[in-house]
Amino acid sequence: MQKTPAECATMADIRAEIDRLDRALMMLFAERWGYIERAAEIKRPLKLKADIPARVAEVRENVRRSATEFGLEPEFYDRLWSQLIDHAIAHERKLLGEDQG
């Protein structure tokens, strides 16, 4: 049964909840990745590039705003999302054939 941090009485409880959350995060990352792949499929016939700077800026601003809203460090999550974005753009470039020639 899921516990809140205050309901955890032992380190085993804490570890179980962290493991549960890590798995849930991976499921969300996998879901997000599906959208990245679909974006490349949609971009191809539209002749759109993998890297759309205005969208990258928008996503990073959204992350910073959400981090602040949840009491997290915006700079840390901006750096983390920057890596996610860079990885997604590199993958889209491969799918779109932008990394050839």
Domain 5-96 matching CATH 3.30.1490.110: the answer reads no
Of 58, 56, 66, which is closest to residue 87 (Cα–Cα)?
A: 56
pTM of the model: 0.87
Of 101, 83, 92, which is closest to residue 34 (Cα–Cα)?
A: 92
The token pair at 86 is: 């860079």
Of 58, 59, 76, 57, which is closest to residue 67 (Cα–Cα)?
A: 76
pLDDT band at 100 (very low <50, low <70, confident <90, very high): confident
Task: Read off the pLDDT of residues 20-72 as tens digits, 9 standing for 90 and up.
Answer: 999 999 999 999 999 999 999 999 999 999 999 999 999 999 999 999 999 99
Question: Would you list the domain boundaries of the chain?
Answer: 5-96
